[in-house]
């Protein structure tokens, strides 16, 4: 099994799906000739031609609209939003059209579109290149949302998203692109949408999260185990809509002490829903108040490096929160 | 040297968004070299950018901590630069350890004495205590503020602390119902999801909403039920579907321009009246005005070949053959059979073709071949009484021309009023290919051709 970067796994998933099914095509800003601003689609236009790897105008609502129309027509588009920050002009298309067409047409029509969008900060991107828009789409019935943390999951979830009969938002973390390297099989496999994954078994505290902050949680857990004998149980949600309720409850029960981490801001985030599920389903097995460690409720990621560092989650911040919960 | 000099770390900067590391290409400064602020000290290579890293300060290059070709994580020290020591920096670094020591001391003292949380029992602790009949006062608390944690209770049970279990069987049964309803909802989730999937599969092939797309709709063999007294439904036939699709495509893709000219056809009327009966007798077909118009149009296209073209985004394709699509209407549709190589035919030949195609349309005997290859469309709208139309271009052609009703009108000629037979010709044009001047000339040529028919004109 070759070691590859998170970004390579995403590229490989698209390549394999395009080879498997000629209805799969990619569209977005700079995805063709340039191969994507992050090189996510590099080489795809050379292999599949410009009709299947299309450079679009700088108009996200058009990218989403074209993709949704093509999907309703039977194609399998993968629409790339260059940064999830730029996705907002497309929200109307995604929420009002893609998410609702199956319901609205009484099951006659469907929209098997995948919208890929890089999320997250810590890359010196400032306001317009660092946002986490999960909470905007989260809670919209009809949409599936995945946000892989590992390279293995990134490939498997993207392949599952392409094959899914309904719209899937694929939130890839741009900081993970080069940071996460691991063994990724070169053969065809999928990671099922809607299934969370236990990254680490433990008995003292439970950490639940998705995307980049899990990287910090895993590092912190290793250190806490070695330094203080604290054993952390870590659950990767992988899919944030629909949430894997059973896995969340099972992980919460395991230790009775739950810390939820995500980079999207705290208020109204995915963590709030996870906390609500836990308090609904297993209040009597909780040993501590449910904790959330999230991005602060401030309007935007600062561009100033010290301020960005203040804003972002880190191994140290996660470790501190995990320690406090373990001590409680 | 280190005693009076200070070494400052230079770290790998974040060169571009998403980059976590970069490779040192070449060191531009060696240890001992003088370095000025903003002066490049090394070249770095990444898969996004190749760049030079500038020095952050003035000084002398101390040691290089990274080798050429080595991949370095962002934030890692790559070299140290010697600078003159600044007094403020030295004192600041000296004060820090004291403050830290004070903080950690405070924490340890608090941990040993505080027992404020000793009697705060979490739901998990109470649940476990109730299930196992444990008196929590006898369980040691290791949590913050002396709190009894869930783990403390579990450890207590494991160490045989649950001695009170036998004493309180009633509390055990009382506690059980608490946890049962909690588990029920999850069990019900699975069967619900499966039945929803099955019912979806059963509904799959039925489609009863949405507008026509490319699939061929059903041919209506029976009258469609539905509607109420105020309306009734007509199923869309395949031909209707094709017309709708083509019209929509033409209108949405082609920017239509439109113009009209008036033609004096008095001479043509006289000519036709003179020869039509004999022609009918001789040839067996009607000699229509349309045949004369087609001849006039085809000759004009010969002079302005751009009228006979197709828009192909990065080029314009001009067709050498002039194949006239003739719009022929029926009660419920319109078809455009093609007169191939119309420029090779005389008026008599065109008249025969018109009659042939029209009768084929009415008899429903058109072959696919009769419909293909059109390059310019003519519609005889005058045949149903119209005097002015704004036709939709027969996609992907460049223009369409209509021949309106011949009407007798008072016309001023040489300052005298005369009664003349007049007809309007309307042209819709693809404004991507054609503009006003070229179309105006074309129409003027058609007009000239129409008006130059005389009693001497030969139809053969």
What's the token pair of residue B266? 């008095």
Task: Say which residues have a Cβ less than 8 Å from residue A91's Cβ, sequence separation at least 6.
Answer: A136, A137
Whether A262 is catalytic: no
In chain A, the percentage of residues whose pLDDT exceeds 70 is 100
Chain A residues with CB under 8 Å of B147 CB are: 328
Band (pLDDT 50/70/90 cuts) for residue B17 is low
- At residue B359, the 3 state secondary structure works out as helix
Is B194 part of the contact surface with chain A (CB cutoff 8 Å)? no
Please report the domains of chain A, with CATH numbers, ordered by start residue. Answer: 3-183 (3.40.50.970), 197-327 (3.40.50.920)
State the average pLDDT over residues B365-369.
82
Query: Chain A residue with minimal CA distance to B21?
Result: A178
Reported as a single tens digit per residue, the pLDDT across A35-85 is 999 999 999 999 999 999 999 999 999 999 999 999 999 999 999 999 999
Class (C level, CATH) for B6-85: mainly beta
Band (pLDDT 50/70/90 cuts) for residue B213 is very low
- At residue A27, the 3 state secondary structure works out as strand
Q: What is the pLDDT of residue B374?
A: 93
B351 CA to centre of own chain: 47
A209 and A260 in contact (C-beta within 8 Å)? yes
pLDDT at B174 over 50: no
Verify whether the Cβ–Cβ distance A256 to B124 is below 8 Å. Answer: yes
Is B460 part of the contact surface with chain A (CB cutoff 8 Å)? no
Q: What is the pLDDT of residue B163?
A: 52
pLDDT at A309 over 70: yes
Q: Is the dihedral of CA B122, B126, B132, B135 positive or negative?
A: positive
State the average pLDDT over residues B289-295.
95
Q: What is the pLDDT of residue B8?
A: 87
Verify whether the Cβ–Cβ distance A125 to B143 is below 8 Å. Answer: no
**B41 DSSP 8-state letter:** E
Burial of B108 (0-12, 13-18, 19+ CB in 10 A): exposed
Q: What is the pLDDT of residue B68?
A: 87
Verify whether the Cβ–Cβ distance A327 to B143 is below 8 Å. Answer: yes
Q: Which residue intervals of chain B bear CATH 4.10.320.10?
A: 112-169
Q: What is the pLDDT of residue B228?
A: 65
Is A223 part of the contact surface with chain B (CB cutoff 8 Å)? no
pLDDT at B249 over 60: yes
Is B144 part of the contact surface with chain A (CB cutoff 8 Å)? yes
Verify whether the Cβ–Cβ distance A246 to B186 is below 8 Å. Answer: yes
Band (pLDDT 50/70/90 cuts) for residue B162 is low
State the average pLDDT over residues B276-284.
91
Is B20 part of the contact surface with chain A (CB cutoff 8 Å)? yes
- At residue B257, the 3 state secondary structure works out as strand
Give strand pairing partners of B263.
Answer: B423
pLDDT at A32 over 60: yes
Higher pLDDT, residue B176 or A269: A269
ipTM of the complex: 0.79
A79 and A50 in contact (C-beta within 8 Å)? no
Is A39 part of the contact surface with chain B (CB cutoff 8 Å)? yes
> How far is CA A62 from each of CA A54, A96, A226, B108, rounded to the nearest angstrom?
13, 14, 52, 60
Selecting among B58, B343, B356, B431, the annotated active-site residue is: B431
Verify whether the Cβ–Cβ distance A204 to B206 is below 8 Å. Answer: no
Kindly compute the dihedral angle of the four CA atoms of residues B18, B24, B25, B28, in this order, to the nearest 10 degrees: 120
DSSP B346-357: -HHHHHHHHHHH
Band (pLDDT 50/70/90 cuts) for residue B167 is very low
* CA distance, residue A104 to nearest chain B CA (Å): 10
Q: What is the pLDDT of residue B182?
A: 40
pLDDT at B88 over 70: no
In chain A, the percentage of residues whose pLDDT exceeds 90 is 99
Is A174 part of the contact surface with chain B (CB cutoff 8 Å)? yes
pLDDT at B189 over 50: no
Higher pLDDT, residue B31 or A41: A41
CATH topology of domain B254-451: Chloramphenicol Acetyltransferase (3.30.559)
**Mean pLDDT rounded to a whole number for chain B:** 80
State the average pLDDT over residues B175-187.
40
Quick count: other Cβ atoms within 10 Å of Cβ A142? 17
Whether the upstream peptide bond of residue B396 has omega within 30° of 0, thus cis, is: yes
In chain B, the percentage of residues whose pLDDT exceeds 90 is 42
CATH topology of domain B112-169: Dihydrolipoamide Transferase (4.10.320)
Band (pLDDT 50/70/90 cuts) for residue B176 is very low
In chain B, the percentage of residues whose pLDDT exceeds 70 is 77
Greatest mean pLDDT among B12-26, B62-76, B445-459 lies in B445-459
What's the token pair of residue B388? 């002015």
State the average pLDDT over residues B184-192.
40
Reported as a single tens digit per residue, the pLDDT across A201-240 is 999 999 999 999 999 999 999 999 999 999 999 999 999 9
Spatial distance between the Cα atoms of A143 and A153, rounded to a whole number of angstroms: 19
Determine which helix (DSSP H) or strand (DSSP E) holds B187, and give its type and residue range: helix B169-203
Give exposure, B368-385, as e/b (b: 16+ Cβ within 10 Å).
eebeeebbbbbbbbbeee
Reported as a single tens digit per residue, the pLDDT across A11-21 is 999 999 999 99
> How far is CA B224 from each of CA B221, B231, B332, rounded to the nearest angstrom?
9, 12, 17
Give strand pairing partners of A200.
Answer: A234
pLDDT at B202 over 50: no
Give exposure, A23-33, as e/b (b: 16+ Cβ within 10 Å).
bbbbbbbbbbe
**A89 DSSP 8-state letter:** G
Band (pLDDT 50/70/90 cuts) for residue B439 is very high
Reported as a single tens digit per residue, the pLDDT across A84-94 is 999 999 999 99
Give exposure, A58-83, as e/b (b: 16+ Cβ within 10 Å).
eebeebbbbbbebbbeebbbbbbbbb
Q: What is the pLDDT of residue B48?
A: 63
Q: What is the pLDDT of residue B87?
A: 54
Spatial distance between the Cα atoms of A319 and B373, rounded to a whole number of angstroms: 74
Reported as a single tens digit per residue, the pLDDT across B301-326 is 999 999 999 998 889 999 999 999 99
Higher pLDDT, residue A73 or B184: A73
Largest separation between any pair of C-alpha atoms in chain B: 130
Largest separation between any pair of C-alpha atoms in chain A: 58
Q: What is the pLDDT of residue B123?
A: 93
Give the range among A161-170, A248-257, B85-94, B203-212 with minimum mean pLDDT: B203-212
Q: Which residue intervals of chain B bear CATH 3.30.559.10?
A: 254-451
Q: What is the pLDDT of residue B106?
A: 41
Q: Which residue intervals of chain B bear CATH 2.40.50.100?
A: 6-85
Verify whether the Cβ–Cβ distance A123 to B18 is below 8 Å. Answer: yes
Q: What is the pLDDT of residue B137?
A: 87
Spatial distance between the Cα atoms of A65 and A234, rounded to a whole number of angstroms: 38
Verify whether the Cβ–Cβ distance A328 to B17 is below 8 Å. Answer: no
State the average pLDDT over residues A282-290.
94
Question: Shortest CA distance to B183 belongs to which of A321, A283, A318?
Answer: A283
Give strand pairing partners of B400.
Answer: B377, B428
């Amino acid at each position: 099994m070759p070691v590859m970067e998170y970004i390579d796994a995403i590229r490989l998933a698209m390549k394999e799906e395009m080879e498997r099914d000629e209805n799969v095509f990619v569209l977005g800003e700079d995805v063709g000739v340039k191969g994507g601003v992050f090189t996510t689609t590099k080489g795809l236009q050379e292999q599949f031609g410009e009709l299947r790897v299309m450079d679009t105008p700088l108009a996200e609502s058009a990218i989403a609209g074209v993709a949704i129309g093509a999907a309703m027509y039977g194609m399998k588009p993968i629409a790339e939003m260059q940064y999830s920050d730029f996705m907002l002009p497309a929200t109307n298309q995604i929420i009002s059209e893609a998410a609702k067409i199956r319901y609205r047409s009484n099951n006659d029509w469907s929209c098997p579109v995948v919208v890929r969008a890089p999320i997250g900060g810590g890359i010196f991107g400032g306001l317009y290149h660092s946002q986490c828009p999960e909470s905007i789409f989260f809670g919209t019935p009809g949409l599936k949302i995945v946000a892989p943390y590992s390279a293995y999951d990134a490939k498997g979830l993207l392949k599952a998203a392409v094959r899914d009969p309904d719209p899937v938002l694929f939130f890839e973390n741009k900081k993970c692109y080069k940071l996460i390297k691991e063994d990724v099989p070169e053969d065809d496999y999928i990671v099922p949408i809607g299934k969370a994954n236990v990254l680490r078994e433990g008995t003292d505290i439970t950490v639940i999260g998705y995307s980049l902050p899990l990287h910090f949680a895993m590092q912190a857990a290793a250190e806490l185990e070695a330094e203080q004998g604290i054993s952390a149980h870590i659950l990767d949600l992988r899919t944030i809509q629909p949430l894997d309720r059973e896995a969340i409850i099972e992980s919460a029960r395991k230790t009775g002490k739950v810390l939820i981490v995500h980079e999207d801001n705290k208020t109204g985030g995915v963590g709030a829903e996870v906390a609500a599920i836990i308090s609904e389903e297993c209040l009597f097995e909780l040993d501590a108040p449910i904790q959330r460690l999230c991005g602060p409720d401030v309007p935007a990621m600062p561009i100033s490096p010290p301020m960005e560092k203040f804003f972002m989650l880190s191994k140290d911040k996660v470790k501190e929160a995990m320690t406090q919960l373990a001590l409680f | 040297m280190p005693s009076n000099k200070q070494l400052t770390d230079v770290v790998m900067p974040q060169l571009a968004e998403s980059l976590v590391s970069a490779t040192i290409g070449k060191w531009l400064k060696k240890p001992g070299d003088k370095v000025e602020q903003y002066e490049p000290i090394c070249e770095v290579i990444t898969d996004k950018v190749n760049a030079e890293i500038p020095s952050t300060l003035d000084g002398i290059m101390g040691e290089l901590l990274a080798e050429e070709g080595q991949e370095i994580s962002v934030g890692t020290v790559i070299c140290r630069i010697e600078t003159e020591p600044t007094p403020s920096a030295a004192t600041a670094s000296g004060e820090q350890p004291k403050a830290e020591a004070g903080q950690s001391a405070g924490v340890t003292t608090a941990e040993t004495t505080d027992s404020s949380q000793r009697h705060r029992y979490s739901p998990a602790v109470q649940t476990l205590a109730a299930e196992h009949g444990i008196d929590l006062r006898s369980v040691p608390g290791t949590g913050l503020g002396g709190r009894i944690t869930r783990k403390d209770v579990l450890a207590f049970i494991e160490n045989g602390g649950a001695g009170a279990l036998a004493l309180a069987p009633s509390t055990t049964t009382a506690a059980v119902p608490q946890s049962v309803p909690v588990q029920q909802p999850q069990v019900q989730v699975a069967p619900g999801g499966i039945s929803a999937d099955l019912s979806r599969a059963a509904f799959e092939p039925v489609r009863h909403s949405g507008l026509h797309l490319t699939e061929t709709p059903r041919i209506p063999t029976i009258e469609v039920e539905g509607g109420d007294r105020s309306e009734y439904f007509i199923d869309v036939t395949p031909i209707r579907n094709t017309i709708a699709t083509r019209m929509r495509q033409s209108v949405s893709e082609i920017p239509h321009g439109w113009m009209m000219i008036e033609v004096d056809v008095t001479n043509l009327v006289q000519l036709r009246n003179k020869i039509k009966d004999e022609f009918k007798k001789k040839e067996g077909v009607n000699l229509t005005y349309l045949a004369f118009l087609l001849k006039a149009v085809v000759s004009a296209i010969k002079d302005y070949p751009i009228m006979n073209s197709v828009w192909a985004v990065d080029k314009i394709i001009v067709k050498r053959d002039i194949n006239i699509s003739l719009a022929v209407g029926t009660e419920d549709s319109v078809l455009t059979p093609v007169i191939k190589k119309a420029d090779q035919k005389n008026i008599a030949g065109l008249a025969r073709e018109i009659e042939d195609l029209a009768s084929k349309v009415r008899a429903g005997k058109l072959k696919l071949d009769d419909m293909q290859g059109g390059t310019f469309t003519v519609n005889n709208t005058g045949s149903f009484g119209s005097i002015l139309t704004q036709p939709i271009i027969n996609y992907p052609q460049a223009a369409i021309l209509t021949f309106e009703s011949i009407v007798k009108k008072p016309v001023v000629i040489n300052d005298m009023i005369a009664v003349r037979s007049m007809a309007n010709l309307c042209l819709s044009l693809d404004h991507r290919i054609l503009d006003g001047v070229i179309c105006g000339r074309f129409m003027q040529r058609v007009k000239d051709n129409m008006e130059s028919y005389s009693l001497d004109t030969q139809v053969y």
